[in-house]
Amino acid sequence: MTDKPSPVAVSVVIPLYNKAQFVERAIQSVLRQTIQDFEIIVVNDGSTDNGHEIVQQMTDERIRLIRQTNAGVSAARNRGITESRSNLVAFLDSDDEWMPELLATILDLRRSYPEAGAYATGYMIANAQGCLSLFRPRRLRCTEWTGIIPDYFRLGIGCVWSSAVAVSRNVFAKTGMFRTGITFGEDLDMWFRIALRFDIAYSATPMAIWHQDAMNRASNRIHEVTSPLRNSLAEIQRDGSIPATITTRALSYIERHELSLIMYLCRNDGELRRSMLAQWHRLHGTTWRWLACVGIAWLPTNLIAKLCRW
């Protein structure tokens, strides 16, 4: 996929699946942007509620509703990318929202770092009670930091998030699009593949809100002990395009990703947590991170839940 003449500055892709009670909030947050040169592509991925009707009732001509048979969030995002008219594609989940300056911040990053593959911002997390907390990436504690992420694989999991990122269209020709057929971590896999080949420009200023009270969150589903990132790394290694030092850091990142998800998603189920750690050990052997997780796994469940939140 290559760049083409762009009639709008940004194409905003919103996958929609059974989020009728949230989708208007998401779209309105785009319509309130200080930059108004955009299109909104809502891909209804076979929803069974009335979310598509809510979108149809919104009269702004920049909103396009596309319907497809349910195929998963990756397929919905890919359809949105294919239908997009801009050389820059931003993503927003239908249960999250943007601050008014997000697109302006993304476009500033692109002007400053035109060779980057992706442009991301900081974000806040809203819990079920509506309380906001700021996500702070490791090594970037200052919320006013802006630049190229110095080492994506050591910065910490979560610095690039699916509702606060935009990707240059030509990047997908080199990395491929979102992987279909996986049920967890398809967005992390995308940012991982981009980071292996491109710089990622980042503004730590929080410009989006991740609402964790929404139904059907991917984090409500348990994942396999081996993440899809391992397959992505192996594929890229075969063409010999990344140096060994990056491979080593990428493998360390994958290990942190897998073990942290086991601890987080199984925080309330000690038996399942220990079983999954045992499965991970059979596949990948003994590491100091695995030993630390095994030690923590025997702590009381309520204490593990507090550690995971921290």
Residue 112 pLDDT exceeds 90? yes
141: which residues sit within 8 A by CB, 6+ positions away? none
Question: In the numeric block, which tokens belong to residue 201?
Answer: 């420009």
Q: How confident is the model at residue 7 (pLDDT cuts 50, 70, 90)?
A: confident
What pLDDT, in 10s, does the model give residues 24-56?
Answer: 999 999 999 999 999 999 999 999 999 999 999
Residue 2 pLDDT exceeds 60? no
Residue 306 pLDDT exceeds 80? no
Mean pLDDT computed over every residue of the chain: 88
β-pairing verdict for 200-211 and 118-126: parallel
- pTM here? 0.89
- Chain-centroid distance of CA 265 in Å reads 17
Specify the pLDDT at position 140: 66
Question: In the numeric block, which tokens belong to residue 171?
Answer: 């990047």
Q: How confident is the model at residue 261 (pLDDT cuts 50, 70, 90)?
A: confident
Stretch 146-173: mean pLDDT: 90
Which of 92-96, 239-243, 268-272, 275-279 has maximum average pLDDT?
92-96
Identify which has the larger pLDDT, 269 or 193: 193
Residue 215 pLDDT exceeds 50? no
What pLDDT, in 10s, does the model give residues 70-87?
Answer: 999 999 999 999 999 999
Stretch 222-235: mean pLDDT: 79
Residue 218 pLDDT exceeds 50? no
CATH code that applies to domain 10-220 = 3.90.550.10
Rounded distance between C-alpha atoms, residue 107 and residue 10, angstroms: 9
Specify the pLDDT at position 257: 87
Specify the pLDDT at position 120: 96
Under DSSP, the state recorded for 204 is: E
Specify the pLDDT at position 141: 60
Structural domain spans, the chain: 10-220, 229-309
283: which residues sit within 8 A by CB, 6+ positions away? 225, 226
- 113 close to 46: Cβ distance less than 8 angstroms: no
Specify the pLDDT at position 264: 77
Rounded distance between C-alpha atoms, residue 32 and residue 160, angstroms: 23
23: which residues sit within 8 A by CB, 6+ positions away? 14, 16, 42, 51, 54, 55, 94, 95
